[in-house]
Amino acid sequence: MVNRKNIKDVARAAGVSISTVSRVLNDSKGVREELKQKVLDAVQILGYHSNTIARALKGMPTKTFGLLIPSIENPFFPSMVRGVQDEAHRNGYSVFLCNTDGSGIIEEAQFRLLLDKKVDGIILVASKYTTKYLKKENNELPIVMMDRYVRSPNYSYVTVDHSVGVRLAMDHLRTLGHKRIAFLGSKLISSGARERFQAYKRYMIDLRSKLDESLVVLGDYTYESGIKMTEELLRRDVKFDSILCGNDLIAFGVIEVLKQKGIAVPDSISVVGYDDIAFSSYYTPKLTTVHQPTYDVGQLSAKMLIDMISGVDRRVKHIKIEPSLAIRETTLRVGSDSH
């Protein structure tokens, strides 16, 4: 740091003009091999790094992009963020991480701030507020929606195919002989929540031509909500032999309540989670859950964004990655007795 070298120093040391240095560094061709070498040597000796800020002022890329997520404290996101960052750093990008807490105001403010910081692109987990400020403000800035998205021919997204995830879980439960499968999920405020519930609904209708609404409770994607929803389900006094949860956090809440009520999992009731956060395999009993390839979603989102930025591939793409089912210890064949 002490004495930051600039392009002038390099030019002087190499005995050439600054434009030649600039040319070499941006490998625009048309520099004699000999001079090129001199410049490269000088760069080496002086330990020169070109100043990103100055380049940015000339409209060059900042090698920086923004990542807008609801909250890094939501255990669903860390590995996705990691996927984004790993791909970013592999390509020389730094990333600004911002939390929106699901607030449209914060989301838009953060988005603006990123624009001010002259990021080369933005990856965001879309909300119902996203489209508004996006169309209001955006021009050519590459944008990728990650996980939660908004249907649009203008924006790329990478997400998980929840119809597959739900089907995997339901088939598994059916195979084990379960007939009355309850659904405790999130209110339908995000693309993922909607898709999961729709897939469940369709499955049940296919099965018995109608949806038994008493089997459904909708809340939030939290442990506390899992607890409340289970209590609500129990209060209804409806028969069920298994529960499909909207995410793993809900599942933990579910299992906790069932345990308190002396209802054994999986012996009496089978429980399936959704997400497969790291914790699900540390839990006792280990949670059977739909595995979302979150790291891959993050990585692919970043790759797509970088391709858009660099101009390698500017096309709008809509990608759904297939989830898988992690069968562990919270589901059991109906009528079996593990005791």
Partner DNA sequence: GTGAAAGCGCTAACAT
Partner DNA sequence: ATGTTAGCGCTTTCAC
- What phi, psi does 144 have (nearest 5°)? -130, 130
In angstroms, the CA 203 to CA 68 distance is 33
Q: Is 116 an interacting residue with respect to DNA (CB under 7 A)?
A: no
Among 14, 42, 215, 249, binds a second copy (CB under 8 A): 249
β-pairing, 181-186 with 156-160?
Answer: unpaired
Structure tokens, 194 = 């909607």
If binding means CB under 7 A, how many residues of this protein chain bind DNA?
A: 28
Binding of residue 60 to DNA (CB under 7 A): yes
Range list of β-strands (E), the chain = 64-69, 94-99, 121-124, 143-146, 156-160, 181-186, 216-219, 242-245, 270-275, 288-291, 318-321, 324-326
d(CA 240, CA 221): 21
Closest to 191 in 3D by CA, of 153, 158, 142: 158
39/255 with CB nearer a second copy: 255
Rounded to a whole number of angstroms, the minimum distance from the CB of residue 327 to a second copy is 18
Q: Give the interface segment with a second copy, choosing from 94-102, 142-150, 168-176, 237-245 (CB under 8 A).
A: 94-102
The correct pick among 7, 199, 217, 325 for binding DNA (CB under 7 A) is 7
CA atoms within 13 A on the CB side of 275: 25
Choose from a second copy, DNA, none: what does 312 bind? Cβ within 5-8 Å by kind.
none
Residues that bind DNA (CB under 7 A): 4, 6-8, 15-20, 22-23, 25-26, 28, 30-32, 34-35, 50-51, 54-55, 57-60
Residues that bind a second copy (CB under 8 A): 1-2, 49, 51-54, 56-57, 62, 64, 71-73, 75, 78-79, 81-82, 85-86, 89, 94-99, 110, 112-118, 137-139, 141, 223, 249, 252-253, 255-256, 259, 278-279, 282-284
